[in-house]
A and B are shown apart, each in its own frame.
Chain A
Amino acid sequence: MSTLDRKLLRDLRHLWAQALAILLVIAAGFATLILGVGAYRSLEQTRAAYYERNAFADVFARLERAPKSLGSRILEIPGVVAADLRIMRQVIIDIEGMSEPASGLAVSLPDFSPAHLNQLTLRAGRTPEPGQSSEVVINDSFARAQHLGPGSRFSAIFNGRKHELEVVGVALSPEFIYVLGPGDLMPDDRRFGVLWMSETALEGLFDLEGAFNSVALKLLAGASESAAIAQLDRIIARYGGVGAYGRKDQISYAFLDSELQQLSAMSRIIPPIFLAVSAFLVNMTLSRLIALEREQIGLLKAIGYSRLAVAAHYLKLILVIAILGSLVGAIAGTWLGRGLTALYGEFYHFPFLIFHRDPDIYLLATAVSVGAAVLGGLKTVFAALRLPPAVAMQPPQPPRYAKLWGEGIGLAQVLSQLTIMSLRSMVRAPLRAVTTLIGVASAVSLLVMAMFAIDSVEFMIDVSFFRTSRQHASVILAEEQGPGVLQSVQNLPAVMRSEPYRSVAVRLRNGHRERRTTIVGQPPGQDLSRIVDSEFKVVAPPSEGLLVNARLAEVLKLRRGDIVDVELLEGKRGTKSVVVSDIIESYLGLAAYMDLDALNRLIGEGPRISGMHIAYDRRDEPALYRALKSTPAFASVQLQRISLSKFRDTIRENINFMTTTYVVLSVIIAFGVVYNSARIQLSERARELASLRVLGFTRSEVSRVLLTELAIVILLAQPLGWAMGYAFSWGVIQGFSSDLFTVPFLIETSTYARATLVALLASAASAFVVRLRVDRLDLVSVLKTRD
């Protein structure tokens, strides 16, 4: 081994703590990219493969009743490669020991051939025997939530008749990755299940012999979805078709898509910022670290080493750190990414997982990390190499201090001489102070960005559940009824208040833009279900016109006063034009509200309501549930309390897994940066500080000179860090919203405070190390090597 290489090893050993800190910063930036992008791509691919393998359909439609012979006409629609004609209908589920009302969706399985589309993956058991009306396969989430499995029994009400069922299998389906009960905002696996049963059995139970009421289509790749939807609508219109829709309006697909979109926002924006920031920090740190080697670089040159040899020597040092950092980052990123993918895979109920490890992100991360390190280090090496060796070897010229602004006006009397020293040193070496400041600010900004999303989601929850939809529950009628039904709801036990609403499936169209949604009609002056404007002031639906939320306005490019076409997908159908009277604030879905009377007039079938929002006394809840279950007119109940907790479980968890990882990584970066800044600052000023010690200043006085400077810089870095964090977070939130959820942008003060707290903890720990180092300053060697 050459002596120069031996020096390399010893230098590395000597610098181990700083080298380790840099290595960890590189690793953290690297790992973030690998795990973020890796997990997202893996899940994206898994979803695609799952949909592919289980033949998830492209177009879906419900109707009232049509003869199976219609199937051949449906298959003739251009672009359709497969069509499954099914029976799908809501049932009430009755499980022993469960007080809340539960419901389910009965779905037919063909008896004599496997389903072409939306194929099940059996987790346990088998499919029902043809014609066996007591055998049922249930979805995995429902089975888990209810602790059901093959052999379990429960009953359900089919067409008003109670029927005993035995679970014969548990399955996953691409069509029901998320299952939402009627009116539910969030999946509630305990209260809603999918029941797959034999087709002939269901025909019997629902009096649908030879008929179907649901259709799913698979389209040829590249076939026009909207054309197929239009054709299908035309075919099924006279059979009570309620408007066919594509995947993006299929609730399970849309839900998963919105979850993946949030992951995508977090993995497309956050990791590159992490990587860029870590690269910048490593660049800065290495360049400062190597600046300390100026005299040794001069010496190597003086004794005859060529520039190339010297540069190669330091390049090795940088590469050891950068490559080890990348290696640790790659391993940690892959491992964490795998763990995260598995966690999400479980969360999304995927039957299998595809781990995706593209070389491209590894190459990119290596190029950025190693490149930044090499550039930062070599920049300084070459700067030192350009100096004549005689100059490089000299100790830096004694700094020329200037008097501080303010010293003249008596600042000197207030501040101690040592504090003045710190301040002067910052003013004299602004670049050093600024690089430390930017480094610390970057670390703080990463922390803010990693943590803010929860704030936004909590704000969304607050507005959605505590300021607008304040009801305890919503009772959904099996069929729309006249307003008289309100009284019977009011008379239910425990009910304190009830407010009617009507919801109508529509297609809203503005020019070529269109969206499927529902218009909710409600009377003015509602206390439970409130509508708020963009300033969160309660507004009443106007006597004419439509209120739309910001998301709907955005996707349809609607402004106040615009006319929007409303195609009614229920009842007498037809298309009407309605004025958008205002844009409101609502974060759930594509919300559209009207005055109840105005909606009734629009539909033109007299006053009707489809459900009631209620407030009730929790103490009498069981009595209320019993009454609801025994009234067939009430198809189901949506419980706000459960929606809220499911909302947290789902949206928050979805973000949480990912952000927790990011927070840990940004804490590592914060520590690495602050520690290195402090250590380098100490080395840069070692001589000066040792001289102070020799002059008789105590250790703590000498540490104070350094630490005062560091403290000022770190404090100044906080506001900058918050501002950068705000900007980064704003970038992230842009990708968060989907048609299902709009995530408002909000960062709580506590998040800034937490980010700062981490930075301060890192600073305190670093200050402690610096203090120990000051105690060990070698006074003699400082004096003996100099004039």
Chain B
Amino acid sequence: MQPEIVFQARGLTKVYQTGDVEVRALDGVDLQLYKGEFVVLLGPSGSGKSTLLNILGGLDWATSGTCRFKDHDLTVDDERALTLYRRDHVGFVFQFYNLIPSLTARENVSLCTEIARDPMPPEEALRLVGLGERMNHFPAQLSGGEQQRVAIARAIAKRPEVLLCDEPTGALDSKTGVWVLEALASVNAELGTTTVVITHNAAIREIAHRVIYIADGRIAHIVENERRLAPSEISW
């Protein structure tokens, strides 16, 4: 059976213009992602991983090329459509957590669930990431790993079709990192959420269906894992 394509990118290019310097963050990326798959994006720092993920998540706009999510065109300049796309389909885990400092863990999650179509209760999402006990803490009272887990709870609570995570384990030690990955893997397995995880930690590639290597704004090569490891089987 042919798996359903959720993302379809063609010649995706992103140029940043800062002053008189031009940075080609993405340089003609062609890519397909399938429903329910768990993808790891690997590549050196500055290679364009975040840029690609941001465009997939509707957080940024490509300079040229096309990108579709199912029947949504993500490259058209339609603010409203992009907002609805982000609200209804995408769960995003940001590299810098980006929690609202004046809201508790639970409130940070409900900020998202309040506008979602079929969310799970914030408490349940927080329990899924092992934070059931610390729901009423403010971000400043949580460790980096805990903040990252709140961010993941916020992303999964709306039961998104795609979950995009930018270095979710970047700042975490191995043990906490594994916890976080387990949460992501179980959402992927149980809800069939298409999941893309950026990392520069090569150990993590073992848990993916596919690993996409990025270098200098292009896809260098793609590897399909014959055998996936469970998050608990890896460490760094």
The answer to whether A3 touches B107 (Cβ under 8 A) is yes
Task: Determine the distance from Cα of A296 to Cα of B100 in the docked complex, in whole angstroms.
Answer: 7
Q: Which of B57, B92, B103 contacts A10 (CB 8 A)?
A: B103
With most chain B CB atoms within 10 A of its CB, the pick from A2, A303, A389 is A303
Q: A299-B100, A393-B98, A785-B96 are in contact. Are A304 and B88 (CB under 8 A)?
A: yes
CB distance from A428 to the nearest CB of B (A): 13
Q: A295-B98, A305-B115 are in contact. Are A389 and B59 (CB under 8 A)?
A: yes
The answer to whether B18 touches A397 (Cβ under 8 A) is yes
The answer to whether B18 touches A304 (Cβ under 8 A) is no
Over the window 75-86 of chain B, the binary record of Cβ atoms lying under 8 Å from chain A Cβ atoms (1 yes, 0 no) is 000011001101
The answer to whether A307 touches B103 (Cβ under 8 A) is no
Residues of chain A lying within 8 A (CB to CB) of residue B132: none
Task: Determine the distance from Cα of A140 to Cα of B92 in the docked complex, in whole angstroms.
Answer: 81
In the complex, chain B residues 52-68 whose Cβ is within 8 Å of any chain A Cβ: 54, 57, 59-61
Over the window 373-398 of chain A, the binary record of Cβ atoms lying under 8 Å from chain B Cβ atoms (1 yes, 0 no) is 00000000000000011110101010
CB distance from B80 to the nearest CB of A (A): 7
Q: Is A14 an interface residue (CB 8 A)?
A: yes
Q: Which of A7, A304, A307, A785 contacts B100 (CB 8 A)?
A: A7
CB distance from A686 to the nearest CB of B (A): 12
CB distance from B77 to the nearest CB of A (A): 11
CB distance from B198 to the nearest CB of A (A): 13
The answer to whether B80 touches A303 (Cβ under 8 A) is no
Residues of chain A lying within 8 A (CB to CB) of residue B103: 3, 6-7, 10
How many B residues are at the interface, by size bracket? 35 or more
In the complex, chain A residues 1-57 whose Cβ is within 8 Å of any chain B Cβ: 2-4, 6-7, 10-11, 14
Q: Is B215 an interface residue (CB 8 A)?
A: no
Residues of chain A lying within 8 A (CB to CB) of residue B102: 7, 10-11, 14
The answer to whether B110 touches A3 (Cβ under 8 A) is yes
Count how many pairs of residues, one from A and one from B, have CB atoms less than 8 Å apart in the complex: 83
Residues of chain B lying within 8 A (CB to CB) of residue A397: 18
The answer to whether A303 touches B92 (Cβ under 8 A) is yes
CB distance from B60 to the nearest CB of A (A): 4
The answer to whether A2 touches B114 (Cβ under 8 A) is yes
Task: Determine the distance from Cα of A510 to Cα of B59 in the docked complex, in whole angstroms.
Answer: 78
The answer to whether A301 touches B83 (Cβ under 8 A) is yes
Q: Is A786 an interface residue (CB 8 A)?
A: yes
Task: Determine the distance from Cα of A302 to Cα of B97 in the docked complex, in whole angstroms.
Answer: 12
Q: Is B5 an interface residue (CB 8 A)?
A: no
How many A residues are at the interface, by size bracket? 20 to 34
Task: Determine the distance from Cα of A2 to Cα of B57 in the docked complex, in whole angstroms.
Answer: 25
Task: Determine the distance from Cα of A7 to Cα of B110 in the docked complex, in whole angstroms.
Answer: 12
Task: Determine the distance from Cα of A310 to Cα of B19 in the docked complex, in whole angstroms.
Answer: 30
Task: Determine the distance from Cα of A309 to Cα of B97 in the docked complex, in whole angstroms.
Answer: 22
Task: Determine the distance from Cα of A400 to Cα of B103 in the docked complex, in whole angstroms.
Answer: 34
Task: Determine the distance from Cα of A704 to Cα of B86 in the docked complex, in whole angstroms.
Answer: 44
CB distance from B103 to the nearest CB of A (A): 6
Q: Is B171 an interface residue (CB 8 A)?
A: yes
Q: A295-B98, A397-B18, A781-B140 are in contact. Are A388 and B59 (CB under 8 A)?
A: yes
Q: Is A99 an interface residue (CB 8 A)?
A: no
CB distance from B233 to the nearest CB of A (A): 29
Residues of chain B lying within 8 A (CB to CB) of residue A10: 102-103
Over the window 746-787 of chain A, the binary record of Cβ atoms lying under 8 Å from chain B Cβ atoms (1 yes, 0 no) is 000000000000000000000000000000001001001110
Task: Determine the distance from Cα of A785 to Cα of B154 in the docked complex, in whole angstroms.
Answer: 17
Q: Is B87 an interface residue (CB 8 A)?
A: yes
Q: A14-B102, A389-B59, A785-B96 are in contact. Are A304 and B107 (CB under 8 A)?
A: no
Residues of chain A lying within 8 A (CB to CB) of residue B87: 303-305
The answer to whether B98 touches A304 (Cβ under 8 A) is no
Interface of B is mostly: mixed
Task: Determine the distance from Cα of A625 to Cα of B144 in the docked complex, in whole angstroms.
Answer: 92
The answer to whether A304 touches B79 (Cβ under 8 A) is no
CB distance from A330 to the nearest CB of B (A): 30
Over the window 287-312 of chain A, the binary record of Cβ atoms lying under 8 Å from chain B Cβ atoms (1 yes, 0 no) is 00000000110011111111101000
Residues of chain A lying within 8 A (CB to CB) of residue B84: 304
CB distance from B56 to the nearest CB of A (A): 11
Q: A305-B115, A306-B80 are in contact. Are A391 and B100 (CB under 8 A)?
A: no
Residues of chain A lying within 8 A (CB to CB) of residue B230: none
Q: Is B112 an interface residue (CB 8 A)?
A: yes
Residues of chain B lying within 8 A (CB to CB) of residue A304: 83-84, 86-88, 90, 112, 115-116
CB distance from A674 to the nearest CB of B (A): 26
CB distance from B115 to the nearest CB of A (A): 6
The answer to whether B83 touches A784 (Cβ under 8 A) is no
Task: Determine the distance from Cα of A539 to Cα of B84 in the docked complex, in whole angstroms.
Answer: 86
Q: Is B222 an interface residue (CB 8 A)?
A: no
Task: Determine the distance from Cα of A784 to Cα of B111 in the docked complex, in whole angstroms.
Answer: 23
With most chain B CB atoms within 10 A of its CB, the pick from A10, A11, A306, A785 is A785
The answer to whether B86 touches A303 (Cβ under 8 A) is yes
Residues of chain A lying within 8 A (CB to CB) of residue B90: 304
CB distance from B21 to the nearest CB of A (A): 10
Task: Determine the distance from Cα of A300 to Cα of B97 in the docked complex, in whole angstroms.
Answer: 13
Task: Determine the distance from Cα of A304 to Cα of B18 in the docked complex, in whole angstroms.
Answer: 27
Q: Which of A301, A390, A781 contacts B54 (CB 8 A)?
A: A390
The answer to whether B111 touches A3 (Cβ under 8 A) is yes
Task: Determine the distance from Cα of A302 to Cα of B82 in the docked complex, in whole angstroms.
Answer: 10
The answer to whether B111 touches A307 (Cβ under 8 A) is no
The answer to whether B86 touches A302 (Cβ under 8 A) is yes
The answer to whether B140 touches A303 (Cβ under 8 A) is no
The answer to whether A786 touches B96 (Cβ under 8 A) is yes
In the complex, chain A residues 716-741 whose Cβ is within 8 Å of any chain B Cβ: none
CB distance from A126 to the nearest CB of B (A): 72
CB distance from B64 to the nearest CB of A (A): 15
Residues of chain A lying within 8 A (CB to CB) of residue B213: none
Q: Is B94 an interface residue (CB 8 A)?
A: yes
Residues of chain A lying within 8 A (CB to CB) of residue B154: 303
The answer to whether A391 touches B140 (Cβ under 8 A) is no
With most chain B CB atoms within 10 A of its CB, the pick from A2, A4, A6, A390 is A390
Task: Determine the distance from Cα of A391 to Cα of B60 in the docked complex, in whole angstroms.
Answer: 7
CB distance from B101 to the nearest CB of A (A): 9
Residues of chain B lying within 8 A (CB to CB) of residue A6: 103, 107
Residues of chain B lying within 8 A (CB to CB) of residue A301: 83, 86
Residues of chain A lying within 8 A (CB to CB) of residue B54: 388, 390
CB distance from B93 to the nearest CB of A (A): 11
CB distance from A397 to the nearest CB of B (A): 7
Residues of chain B lying within 8 A (CB to CB) of residue A388: 54, 59-61
Residues of chain A lying within 8 A (CB to CB) of residue B60: 388-391
Task: Determine the distance from Cα of A785 to Cα of B171 in the docked complex, in whole angstroms.
Answer: 9
CB distance from B58 to the nearest CB of A (A): 8
In the complex, chain A residues 390-418 whose Cβ is within 8 Å of any chain B Cβ: 390-391, 393, 395, 397, 400
Task: Determine the distance from Cα of A301 to Cα of B83 in the docked complex, in whole angstroms.
Answer: 7
Q: Residue on B with the closest CB to A304?
A: B87
CB distance from B17 to the nearest CB of A (A): 12
Q: A3-B111, A7-B102, A784-B171 are in contact. Are A305 and B83 (CB under 8 A)?
A: yes
Q: Residue on A with the closest CB to B97?
A: A785
Q: Which of A302, A309, A781 contacts B92 (CB 8 A)?
A: A302
Q: Residue on A with the closest CB to B166?
A: A390
Residues of chain B lying within 8 A (CB to CB) of residue A778: 140
The answer to whether B144 touches A303 (Cβ under 8 A) is no
Task: Determine the distance from Cα of A395 to Cα of B110 in the docked complex, in whole angstroms.
Answer: 25
Residues of chain B lying within 8 A (CB to CB) of residue A7: 100, 102-103, 107, 111
Task: Determine the distance from Cα of A304 to Cα of B157 in the docked complex, in whole angstroms.
Answer: 13
Across chains A and B, which 4 residue pairs bring their CB atoms closest together, nearest first? A304-B87, A10-B102, A390-B60, A390-B59
Question: What are 16 A-B pairs at a CB distance below 8 A?
Answer: A3-B107, A3-B110, A3-B111, A3-B114, A7-B103, A301-B86, A302-B94, A302-B98, A304-B84, A304-B88, A305-B115, A389-B60, A393-B96, A395-B96, A785-B96, A786-B96
Besides the known contacts A301-B83, A388-B59, 10 further A-B residue pairs in the complex with CB atoms under 8 A apart: A2-B114, A3-B103, A6-B107, A304-B83, A304-B86, A304-B90, A307-B83, A309-B115, A388-B60, A778-B140
- Interface, chain A (partner B; CB < 8 A): 2-4, 6-7, 10-11, 14, 295-296, 299-307, 309, 388-391, 393, 395, 397, 400, 778, 781, 784-786
